Amino acid sequence: MTLRPTGIAGLDEILGGFSKPSTILIAGTAGVGKTMFVLDSISSVAEDESTLYIPITTRQVRRADFADTFPFMHESIAVHPIDRISAERDPLSALIDIGNAVASSGADRVAIDPITPLGSAFPEQEQHRFIGTLDSMAHEWGVITLVTGELTASEIHTSVVSHFMDGVLYLSYEESEKHVLRNLRIFKTPNIAGNQALSNIYAFNISAGGVRVFPYLKGGAAHPDLSVRVPTGIRELDGMLEGGIPETYSMMIAGSPGTGKTIFGLQFANESLENDRPAVIVSFNESPDQLIAEAMRLGWDLQGYAENGMLRFVYPSEQVSSDEHLWQIRDAVESIGAGSVVFDGITDMKTVFCGSVNVREYIYSLIRYLKYRKITSLFTSEIENVFSFGIPDAGTSFLVDGIVSLRYIKKESGLRKLLMILKMRGTDHDRRIKEYAITNHGINIMEWAD
């Protein structure tokens, strides 16, 4: 038994691949993407494997019909349609037909779509015998056989089909006000590598290019060298932090609107880029063009770094799931080997995520991943109280290694800005309140005369 690619983007990281030979059931109710899933799987490997698609359908179809509906479908896939009404009336003849089609095609990977109508009219004992025969035939073929089945989640445990399959993947969806959230759950897998995924639910999406599954981000304990510091770009703040942010640490800038949180982040990103550390900027309210223009006003040419591949932006132009957004950050980070990440707007996250999101779990997963990649990060978060050194939401503030709190103070001459480092793990940081100003060259910190 060997492992072959699943052909589904992201799924190999979860399962390790499909065993050959094996029979894999792709189950779910109508409209969840079962046909798209199996066609994407066989299309993605069609350059290296001989593939066969067997649709069991009630209408006359040509290969061109599938190519029009599924533009990613590889031209080398052999198509052998079977009439559904005839198959339901005489499933044994349909089974022989399927066997002959597989034998004549010499396929390495076969998709039967769907399998549940075959033998459905038999008594339960006969259904067991029929599906058992199909399973035996599939293993004798020595191929990877993907079959689809219209089943609910509760039916998976009692279905005759799922009983005989080596692997069972269940697709489902949830409808929100404007979007559909798609989920994949692994009920059964023949691969030891995939056993750890049995209790997990993974998001996936469907696009014109096919199916993409979003694995969980890898994470692990970081063992930082506290003597290695990453400068923030603000000389006075680095002095308050014993030279900068400890490498791989995460720092949060928390303040009310207008206190300059985004500028702190841009200054950190620019400093990293000037020190040849590729950077990723994640934003929600301000587009990359807006951030580039703001940085240029302060004398920082982020456009140039973006053009030469040192800087990537992650900015959702439409609502996405939280899992997909994490994947977008991962893709940006790993595509340029980022050493620094700016995450501008923890409090703005929910405005772009479709469906419910657990902010604490999201930030925890992201920080663990960034530490695993040895990346130093700066997050911004909004607090409501304008005139006190507030701590952001307790659900996320304890996850970061350091917090710098910003606030306003009323003076006769108007509003002034103050900052204070509330915490920085592993650092004997300055605990004094400092005044700061936003200048034409970024943040300038000075002594505060109370």
Domain residue spans of the chain: 2-214, 229-447
Please state, in angstroms and rounded to a whole number, the distance separating the CA atoms of residues 406 and 400.
Answer: 16
3-state secondary structure of 109: strand
Structure tokens at 238: 């680095």
User: Which candidate, 231, 222, 248, 230, places its Cα nearest to that of 375?
Assistant: 248
Please state, in angstroms and rounded to a whole number, the distance separating the CA atoms of residues 408 and 258.
Answer: 10
3-state secondary structure of 212: strand
CATH of domain 2-214: 3.40.50.300
Structure tokens at 402: 């350091």
229-447 shares the fold of 2-214: yes
User: Which candidate, 49, 58, 62, 53, places its Cα nearest to that of 89?
Assistant: 58
User: Which candidate, 447, 443, 446, places its Cα nearest to that of 232?
Assistant: 443
Q: Provide the pLDDT for residue 188.
A: 85
1-to-41, 49, 54, 288, 447 alpha-carbon distances in Å = 19, 16, 24, 48, 70
Ranges of the chain whose pLDDT falls below 70: 1, 61-67, 119-123, 176-178, 191-197, 221-222, 386-395, 450
Q: Which single residue is written with the structure tokens 């046909």?
A: 35
Q: Provide the pLDDT for residue 62.
A: 67
pTM for this entry: 0.85
Q: Which fold would CATH assign to domain 229-447?
A: Rossmann fold (3.40.50)
Please state, in angstroms and rounded to a whole number, the distance separating the CA atoms of residues 155 and 134.
Answer: 20
Q: Which single residue is written with the structure tokens 């639910």?
A: 201
Task: Show the beta-strand stretches assigned E in 250-356.
Answer: 250-255, 279-283, 311-314, 340-344
Q: Which single residue is written with the structure tokens 């299309």?
A: 43
Q: What residues contact 85, with CB distance under 8 A and at least 6 apart? A: 58
**Structural contact between residues 284 and 349, judged by C-beta atoms closer than 8 angstroms:** yes
Q: Can you say whether the dihedral through the CA atoms of 74, 80, 83, 89 is positive or negative?
A: negative
Please state, in angstroms and rounded to a whole number, the distance separating the CA atoms of residues 6 and 91.
Answer: 29
User: Which candidate, 124, 114, 136, 118, places its Cα nearest to that of 31?
Assistant: 114
Q: What residues contact 233, with CB distance under 8 A and at least 6 apart? A: 267, 268, 270, 271, 272, 442
* Strands of the 340-344 sheet, one edge to the other: 311-314, 279-283, 340-344, 376-382, 250-255, 402-411, 414-424, 434-439, 442-447
H/E run at residue 78: strand 78-79
Backbone phi, then psi, for 413, in 5-degree steps? Answer: -80, -5
Cα pseudo-dihedral 228, 234, 239, 243, rounded to 10? 0
Please state, in angstroms and rounded to a whole number, the distance separating the CA atoms of residues 341 and 313.
Answer: 10
| Pairing mode, strands 279-283 and 2-4 | unpaired
Burial of 99 (0-12, 13-18, 19+ CB in 10 A): middle
Burial of 399 (0-12, 13-18, 19+ CB in 10 A): middle
User: Which candidate, 32, 63, 37, 45, places its Cα nearest to that of 4?
Assistant: 45
Please state, in angstroms and rounded to a whole number, the distance separating the CA atoms of residues 408 and 432.
Answer: 16
